[in-house]
Amino acid sequence: MPIDESDSGDEDDSNYNIEHDPGLRPPISSYPVNDKDSVRRSYIALGPCQPRMKRELFPQHECGGMRRFQPKWFDEFKWLEYSMHTGAAYCFVCYLFKDSSKYPGGDAFANEGFRNWNMKCRIRRHVGAINSAHNEAEEKYNLFMKPRTSIRESIGSNSSDFKAKYLAHLTWSLKCVRYLLRQGLAFRGHNEGKDSNNQGNFRELLAWLAGNFEEVNIVVLENAPHNCQMIDHKIQKQLIAACAHETTKFIIEELGDECFAILADESSDAYQQEQLALYLRYVNKNGEPVERFLGLVHVEDTTSLTLKQAIQSLLIKYQLPLSKIRGQGYDGASNMKDHVNGLKKLIMEESPSAYYVHCFAHQLQLTLVAVAKENIDCQWFFGQLAYLLNVLDMSCKKIRMLRREQDIVNAMDLLELTKVELDVLRRDAGWEEFLKNVTSFCEKHKVKVVDMDGKYIPIQRSTKFYRGATNYHRFHADMFLGVIDRQLQELNIRFDEVNTELLRCMAAFNPANSFSAFDNEKLVKLAGFYPHDFDFQERNQLRFQLHNYINDVRNDGNFKNLRSLADLSMMLVKRDMVSRYDIVYKLLKLVLVLPVATAGVERIFSPMNTIKNKLRSKMGHDFLNNCLTTFIEREFFLQAKDEDIINYFQAMKDRKVNL
């Protein structure tokens, strides 16, 4: 661009406004207030300088040396400035921050100016070594422009006393965060200003601690540095993320290199956003099967591919491979259990031994729902049954008796028993006994009993649907036998042949009645369901280990009163028999991993509605996940040390204070 004639030096220097010259040095407004006058005087004395001016901008008749001027020099030596007053170049940093004692004979770049454009080596000589006067002046200039980057300032602010105070008010902020996380309470208030009567739970709790304990008061809020009080919303979220990280760290350490099952379910939160909850089921070091909350993932839709990607991303985040999955537990939706393109199928493509065994309680419920939807009489019956359940729900003791968690063996026994009972009822003897009991009940309570040989009169329906039907045919054939047949059909569909055979083999581990259900051949066959976990040599050794194992546990009094597979597993660990029967114990862990009798993943949505309610409906996904992790896995969160949380918090980003 052409040079403005007003910058040629003809005007009075006292009226020159440096702040409005975009081609010069940083504006005066960026300097400290106390030094503006000195900087202005330095600018005026040096004159308006033009850095990195193009060659064609210099009039070659002003000085002969300009013919050899190289514009790229200004790119290499960024401190080089050109004065239109003198036609010479100056070192701006030396001009402002020079030490006269370092220039006994003067320096052309700082005093009279440099005009020998043909001597580029002279420019490099001015720069000199690392401890030269120019480099010292440049360091002073950089510290002057950005005082916060000063090493001297950094060392002063990170003194031992300052670090101790920083650690103190950071620790008290963390204690407030931990309390609110354990209780599932909100952090922020609607108005957190100084004049607010309620600044939110976090600040109110910290203020309460400061008002009651002097050791807290001297390091927090007004007594902390105003730019480092550790109470900002971003600091709160970073501390929460650190708490969640340390909590999940315990879960990953407890899991170790073991195989696991995944339990997933989706639901909408208070903001009507679809969330996918993921649990891990595995056997811990004590031999106890546990279910741990891994995380919550927001999904745009509930297609099987989207759910699979969400699960995979969460597992990859914690370096858990899909090949380690040995069981799946979802609800009965088609996008979950479909044999063609359902989530179950997609996971089994990655891990063929990840068998899908849905929660028994939920599957049995779905069989009843399917039958009730097709039979009006069943709908009426379960409608009446709902009133009974509402009464039982008022008693915690009765509700615990009505649906308790069962292990795989008890679940299989109950399923087989249900089928046997239904088959007995379907026979003529079962119908006669059932009719006798109903008639006796009606007579006892003075309820009118219909004539079974009489004509059936439907209630609230047209008689044309039941022309010529007798009461006996209606109640026996249409209702009694029809419902039983439909119920048996649903049970056979939901518990397919593969899963049933798998579960029957697992039932051979049952420790009840002195291991009466033990079957060596079934357990060897069970190992065949997991070809990637047992090699050829281990499958051969399994038969011999099982023979010694059953003799050992039957003769040990500690194994006599065991009722479940979990009790058996924990007793093997307690009696230090795991190394002796390592292949048997590996097979037992695979049995315990399958989530056949629990629905813990569905319980996640109750605390989710507690954490993210209508008043906190706009919580971010990461914030919600971190709050849920610490709230649900409270056992591990209480074990997390403040020191570890603070160390992770400090490592999340560059902090003003390095502990």
- Between CA 527 and CA 504 the distance in angstroms is 13
User: Does any domain span residue 243?
Assistant: no
Q: Find the largest Cα–Cα distance for the chain.
A: 133
User: Does any domain span residue 644?
Assistant: no
Averaged pLDDT for residues 139-146? 76
Quick one: tokens of 501?
């055979």
- Residues 589 and 529 grouped into a single domain: yes
Please provide residue 270's backbone torsions phi and psi, each rounded to the nearest 5 degrees.
Answer: -65, -20
Give the residue with greater pLDDT, 244 vs 62: 244
Q: Highest mean pLDDT: which of 156-170, 271-285, 589-603?
A: 271-285
Q: What residues make up the domain containing 510? A: 505-593
- Residues 283 and 418 grouped into a single domain: no
- CA distances to 63, 64, 109, 120, 593 from 86, in Å: 10, 14, 12, 19, 86
Q: Highest mean pLDDT: which of 83-97, 106-120, 179-193, 268-282?
A: 179-193
**DSSP string covering 523-534:** HHHHHTT-TTTS
pLDDT bucket at 401, cuts 50 / 70 / 90 = low
User: Does any domain span residue 64?
Assistant: yes
- CA distances to 21, 59, 72, 122, 132 from 109, in Å: 23, 22, 18, 10, 14
How many other C-beta atoms lie within 10 A of the C-beta of residue 78? Answer: 12
Nearest of 336, 311, 331 to residue 321 by alpha carbon: 311
User: Does any domain span residue 655?
Assistant: no
Q: Does position 179 have pLDDT exceeding 90, yes or no? A: yes
User: Does any domain span residue 656?
Assistant: no
How many other C-beta atoms lie within 10 A of the C-beta of residue 37? Answer: 11
- Residues 581 and 605 grouped into a single domain: no
- Between CA 109 and CA 122 the distance in angstroms is 10
- DSSP, collapsed to helix, strand or coil, labels residue 83 as strand
Give the residue with greater pLDDT, 410 vs 30: 410
Q: Highest mean pLDDT: which of 150-154, 168-172, 370-374?
A: 168-172
Write out 116-174 in H/E/C secondary structure: CCCCHHHHHHHHCCCCCHHHHHHHHHHHHHCHHHCHHHHHHHCCHHHHHHHHHHHHHHH
Helix axes 642-651, 233-255, angle to 10 degrees: 120
**Per-residue pLDDT at 640:** 92
Q: Is residue 592 within 8 Å of 569, Cβ to Cβ?
A: yes
Averaged pLDDT for residues 499-522? 84
- Residues 26 and 142 grouped into a single domain: yes
Q: Does position 68 have pLDDT exceeding 70, yes or no? A: no
- Residues 319 and 268 grouped into a single domain: yes
- Between CA 504 and CA 514 the distance in angstroms is 18
- Residues 323 and 369 grouped into a single domain: no
- Between CA 137 and CA 172 the distance in angstroms is 44
pLDDT bucket at 582, cuts 50 / 70 / 90 = very high
Of 204-218, 463-477, 561-575, which range is least confident?
Answer: 463-477
Residue 74 CB-half CA count within 13 A: 16
From 543, 578, 593, the end of a domain falls on 593
**Per-residue pLDDT at 246:** 94
Give the residue with greater pLDDT, 492 vs 404: 492
- Between CA 67 and CA 91 the distance in angstroms is 21
Averaged pLDDT for residues 598-606? 61
User: Does any domain span residue 237?
Assistant: no
Distance of CA 639 to the CA centre of its chain: 18
User: Does any domain span residue 267?
Assistant: yes
- DSSP, collapsed to helix, strand or coil, labels residue 619 as coil
- Residues 354 and 365 grouped into a single domain: no
Averaged pLDDT for residues 213-239? 84
**Per-residue pLDDT at 334:** 53
Quick one: tokens of 346?
């997609």
- Would you say the C-alpha torsion 136, 139, 145, 151 has a positive or negative sign? negative
User: Does any domain span residue 443?
Assistant: yes
Averaged pLDDT for residues 565-582? 91
Q: Is residue 266 within 8 Å of 277, Cβ to Cβ?
A: yes
pLDDT one-digit tens code per residue, 11-38: 333 343 433 333 334 433 333 434 444 4
- CA distances to 17, 39, 51, 52, 555 from 92, in Å: 18, 11, 10, 13, 94
From 469, 495, 521, the end of a domain falls on 495
**Per-residue pLDDT at 573:** 93
Nearest of 444, 445, 446, 464 to residue 456 by alpha carbon: 464
- Between CA 626 and CA 245 the distance in angstroms is 8
**Per-residue pLDDT at 137:** 83
**Per-residue pLDDT at 36:** 40
**Per-residue pLDDT at 615:** 65
**Per-residue pLDDT at 199:** 83
- Residues 435 and 447 grouped into a single domain: yes
- Residues 20 and 78 grouped into a single domain: yes
**Per-residue pLDDT at 646:** 92
465 Cβ neighbours under 8 A, 6+ residues apart: 458
Q: Does position 623 have pLDDT exceeding 50, yes or no? A: yes
Nearest of 611, 614, 645 to residue 628 by alpha carbon: 611
- Between CA 511 and CA 509 the distance in angstroms is 6
Q: Is 202 exposed, middle or buried (0-12, 13-18, 19+ CB in 10 A)?
A: buried
For the chain, give the mean pLDDT: 75
- Residues 145 and 32 grouped into a single domain: yes
- Residues 285 and 345 grouped into a single domain: yes
pLDDT bucket at 303, cuts 50 / 70 / 90 = confident
pLDDT bucket at 392, cuts 50 / 70 / 90 = low
Write out 419-442 in H/E/C secondary structure: HHHHHHHHCHHHHHHHHHHHHHHH
- Residues 13 and 140 grouped into a single domain: yes
Q: Does position 140 have pLDDT exceeding 50, yes or no? A: yes
Number of domains into which the chain is organized: 5
In 184-303, which residue ranges form alpha helices assigned H by DSSP? Answer: 201-212, 214-217, 233-255
What percentage of the chain reaches a pLDDT higher than 70?
Answer: 69
pTM beyond 0.85: no
**Per-residue pLDDT at 431:** 81
From 576, 593, 610, the end of a domain falls on 593
- Between CA 24 and CA 49 the distance in angstroms is 6
**Per-residue pLDDT at 507:** 83
Of 135-144, 229-238, 597-606, which range is least confident?
Answer: 597-606
Quick one: tokens of 213?
């304990």
- Between CA 576 and CA 581 the distance in angstroms is 10
**Per-residue pLDDT at 101:** 62
- The continuous run of DSSP H or E covering 329 comes out as strand 325-329
**Per-residue pLDDT at 639:** 92
Q: Is residue 363 within 8 Å of 357, Cβ to Cβ?
A: no
Q: Is 505 exposed, middle or buried (0-12, 13-18, 19+ CB in 10 A)?
A: buried
Give the residue with greater pLDDT, 215 vs 366: 215
Tokens 């195989």 found at: 259
pLDDT bucket at 239, cuts 50 / 70 / 90 = very high
Q: Does position 10 have pLDDT exceeding 60, yes or no? A: no
- CA distances to 142, 162, 226, 625 from 158, in Å: 21, 6, 16, 34
Give the residue with greater pLDDT, 225 vs 240: 240
